[in-house]
Chain A
Amino acid sequence: MFDFIKYKYVSITFSTILIIVGFGVTFGKYGGFATSLDFDGGLRAVVEFPENVERKNLEEYFSSKNLEAVLVLMDKDKNDYQIDIGLGSVDQIRQLYIDRKGKDSVEAKQASAIDALIGLLQEDFKLEKKKILSANQVGSVVGAELTSTGISLLSLTLFFIMLYLSFRFQFKFALGAILALIHDLVITIAFIGFFQIKPSVPIIAALLTLLGYSINDTIVVFDRIRENAGNLRDTFSRVINLSINQTLARTFNTSVATLISVVAIIIGGAVELYDFAYVLTFGIILGTFSSVFIAAPLVDIYDTLSKRWKRS
């Protein structure tokens, strides 16, 4: 039987380091989270490219110009690609266009970023005007709405979960579960920042999935602790330890089963779902880790502390 409680401070320290490193790199190295069209706005064009132009060619083209573009194949038969360019590269595009047209050309001066993008694409791929199916400067879509509703939604959710768990279990379990949940979310967000994954609707979905998974996972362990605490005359720490060990097989099997379906997305090669799958893979591993190494040990710490308070 492995003693999880003995190593509680090791695991909590480990998590804390992960969080610090994650956010440190996010803000220190990259100056924040990656920008994405869905969250911050940018340029979006849908273009019908000639048949001989493939995704690979387009990727090379944009990286040679040092532009970050997300390509989505919209229609296979017609070779329509949607090109998303984040706010970060908008100035770069305008600069490229000015460089090409000459600093003093009226055309370059008056061109908006979207004109510049079209201008460049038209010249470089020898496109007729009608092949540019649409081009817009798009505003942020999900970002503003989601961050404002997201935070209030999350706090309310946590509150109600805490209420239910306090009612069904005890307050200390509720606290442990909530802290583990926040822990999972914070680390995952740090992960998103560390790898500069672009926030998008699928990422939101991944975070929500992770949330559900993490609650589920934690409660199974807690339930066992509650049951054992009633049956066994032993110290609370040892009950926790025994319970974690008893549920270990289940925790492991469930995690593997869930991971299989997520990893299948990566193996299956669904390029545009990769971010979703990465976040979820990370999240599931983390959720499993936290339900074993974080949630229950936190309950133990709280239990010890509260006993000490009562005594004093």
Chain B
Amino acid sequence: MKSVQWIFVPILVVASSLTLLYPNFAERELELAVRKEFKQLPEETRKDLLNSFAERWKTDYNPKSDWQIEPDPNIFPEQDYYLVKGRFITSAKINQLSQENQELILEPKNKLRPTWVEEYIFGGRPLAIRLGLDLQGGMRVVLKGDFDDYTSKLKDSYTKEIEELTRKKGDASLSEKERKEAQDKLKEIESYFELTPSRKLAELEKAKLIIDNRLTNQNLTEPQVRIQKDQDSIEVSLPGVSNSSQILDIIRNTETVEYRLREPSDPNGNSKGTYHDAIELEEMKLMSQGRKEETEIVRFQNIVKQKLGKDEQDKFLEVMEKKYNIPEKYKLYVKWSRANNPKASLLPREFVVLERAISLDGKDMRNARESYDQNRLSYYVSFSLTSQGAEKFFDITSKNVGRQLAIVWGDKVISDPVIRSPIAGGNAQIDGEFGQKEATDLANVISEGALPIPLNVLEMRFIGPTLGIESIEVGLKAVLLGFALVIVFMLVIYRLSGLVADIALLVNVIVLMALLSLMGFTLTLPGFAGIILTVGMAVDANVIIYERIKEELIAGKHVSAAVAQGFENAFWTIMDSNVTTLISGILMIKLGNGPIKGFAITLCWGIITSLFTSLFLSRMIMDLLVNKLGVRKLQIGFKKLESKNV
């Protein structure tokens, strides 16, 4: 190697790798959020819950670790959380803490405080290596396809067509042929509503694909999405997810985009005003009496803020629909927007009444993109329509000039512009008060297609590792033991050079881990196998080099020439074998799924790091030893072995 000054490269690499890995072994702080409702419980119940929490803390959580908790679990904390400090706070433990103390701790609000590395260098992004479901457990959500809702929505979207066809069918002024056609078409439409098992499966397959894509877009590695055929459900396994609000996000993302018309200005046919006005009036009344907290919109906001879930929100809306006698034809929605400042959070602001019939749905839209509007300082989403969609859109916009057309994303109305003129051409855009993330999410929903079936959460639970706690602990120890034995083996066989190889091996593993944590990779059992193979290949590279150097030494070359020649000779061998493996690794990443992908990712990065350590780092250290530190006798292997080979 040309110059010893290059030594700063590996030192820099190792230093930054260790920095990256710091969050994995540093002492961390966890905020265990206390439920707001907990405060309202009777004192007796509260004491009991706190007692059992303290009890479990002593017996289940604390003994194995030196975790500190403030304040004492027996005492209700002044702030909204308990602060836990300690090393190796795994998400599995966080899950256990919140799952076993459900009435005390609000799981979605738990917060693992970022370490300084995460905070200052990576802007709060978590860096600790995530372990897969098979290694540490995680979250499992079973989503049941709601086929009733699916058919009723499907019916909604055909309401107008069915009306039209039924009218045609009975219209005596039309020819026999036309009436027959209408009847056939009607039959065909009706057959859409019959769900055979194979059609259900096909819809589930579509949903699976979409969920898969979305989860990958969420940077979740190795989510497993499976269909449980006999239950019409989809099972999603999320390794290392400790936070169910993330899941709720994903579920929110699995929702649809639809256009629905707002109720016309006199929906009753008499001049009583709209339902919207009636609600508005009530709210105003309460406001004027200074009872803002009692207004329905504030109560609804509270449901949202407390994350009580979609069910609660739906229930609330149903009650309101009854209260205001909103007829079957319409449905109550909530419009979400921001307060004046664009950084404020998106919250429900207003109730709106929309037609139940869907004017245009996600199936009619495609190619959505988010863009930034300089003038309004916000994002919007533009998209194009399918030819059928364009026709529908033109039809709706031309028939309803002056009315408001609401865009419903999931269960949120995100904008409801007034139709000023018929829109033709098949391009449209949605202006909401979007932040970048929301605009991207919405564009994703439109582009990837909406979920074909609504999915309800059937079951959501945290699950233990596939291999069991016991075998993972033992397995990890076994792997470490193996690693230590390999290091000893190299030392015994190759002596000083073996030490160099060992240093290279350690650096290799450190850099690889750092890379994986930088990428937010989820380490699974197959991933672990990939690391084992990497270690094997890294050892191999060094063995090849040393055997080559040994040959040169036996041939009588000077130490420094032998080292140079040995590396030279070994270079292409190592390159060829690694590149070939890399090829198979890349193909596995591209084409493989789940376990294969996890294996291949670690393998590919492992090859890259081991090329760096064996061809660059090893060589540098060897050069340093031979050329600068004046090591004259490089002992590679036993003397005996050498003489035998001469």
Chain A interface residues (CB < 8 Å from chain B): 46, 72-77, 80, 82, 137-139, 141-142, 145-146, 149-150, 152-153, 156-157, 160-161, 164-165, 168-169, 177, 201-202, 204-206, 208-209, 211-213, 215-217, 219-220, 222-224, 227, 246-247, 249-250, 253-254, 256-258, 260-273, 276
Contacts and interface: CB of A to CB of B under 8 A. Distances in A.
A58 to B, nearest CB: 13
Interface of B: 60, 134, 224, 226-230, 464-471, 474-475, 477-479, 481-483, 485-486, 489-490, 493, 525-526, 528-530, 532-533, 535-537, 539-540, 543-544, 547, 551, 569, 572-573, 576-581, 583-585, 587-588, 591-596, 599-600, 603, 637, 641, 645
Contacts of A74: 464-465, 468-469
A139 B594 contact: no
A257 B526 CA distance: 20
Contacts of A76: 469-470
Contacts of A217: 577
Nearest to B548: A250
B230 A262 contact: no
Nearest to B641: A249
Nearest to A277: B478
Contact of B603 (A73, A152, A212): A212
Nearest to A55: B470
Contact of B474 (A249, A253, A270): A270
Nearest to A159: B587
B611 to A, nearest CB: 13
B477 A268 contact: yes
B234 to A, nearest CB: 12
Contacts of B583: 157, 160-161, 164
B74 to A, nearest CB: 21
A264 B485 contact: yes
Contacts, number: 219
A58 B125 CA distance: 45
A161 B468 contact: no
B577 A204 contact: no
A206 B584 contact: no
A254 B501 CA distance: 13
B354 to A, nearest CB: 39
Given A149-B593, A264-B485, A139 B584 contact: no
A273 B539 contact: no
A276 B529 CA distance: 9
B547 A250 contact: yes
A177 B579 CA distance: 14
Given A219-B577, A253-B543, A260-B489, A269 B592 contact: no
Contacts of B525: 201-202, 205
Given A161-B583, A249-B641, 15 more contacts: A73-B471, A142-B594, A149-B593, A160-B584, A201-B466, A201-B594, A205-B525, A208-B526, A227-B569, A246-B551, A262-B532, A268-B475, A268-B477, A272-B467, A273-B471
A264 B482 contact: yes
- Looking at A157, A177, A209, A212, the one whose CB has the most chain B CB atoms below 10 A away is A212
A139 B228 contact: yes
Contact of B588 (A80, A157, A201, A224): A157
A268 B470 CA distance: 12
A82 B578 CA distance: 40
Contacts of B532: 209, 261-262
B539 A257 contact: yes
A254 B540 contact: yes
B481 A204 contact: no
Contacts of A153: 587-588, 591-592, 596
B478 A223 contact: no
Given A212-B603, A265-B479, A260 B584 contact: no
Contact of A216 (B230, B535, B577, B591): B577
Contact of A202 (B224, B465, B529): B529
A201 B134 contact: yes
